Amino acid sequence: MQQSWSGYLRAPTQTERPAGTAARRIDVYAELLRNNIRGFIDQCFPLCRASVSAACWEDLIEGFFSQGTWHHSP
């Protein structure tokens, strides 16, 4: 179950919702998670954000979510 949740949270447009999970609930959770982490990234890297286009910044953020190693737990 944890793998299906993390897969969906990393790439919700490319991964099926986990079975037995209410669509509205997991979508709200995914949005909150992304907004929260995006806020941290925006605050920690303001110069990086200012030096690239908005589209490039969005691609970098999406790459962090879908390919980043932050989702591995010990």
Taking only the tens place, the pLDDT of each residue in 6-53 is 888 888 888 889 989 899 999 999 899 889 999 999 999 999 999 999
The residue type at 5: W
Which residues, at least 6 apart from 12, have a Cβ–Cβ distance to it below 8 Å? 27, 30
Domain limits of the chain?
2-69
Residue 74 has pLDDT above 70, yes or no: no
**Residue 68: how many CB atoms within 10 A of its CB?**
12
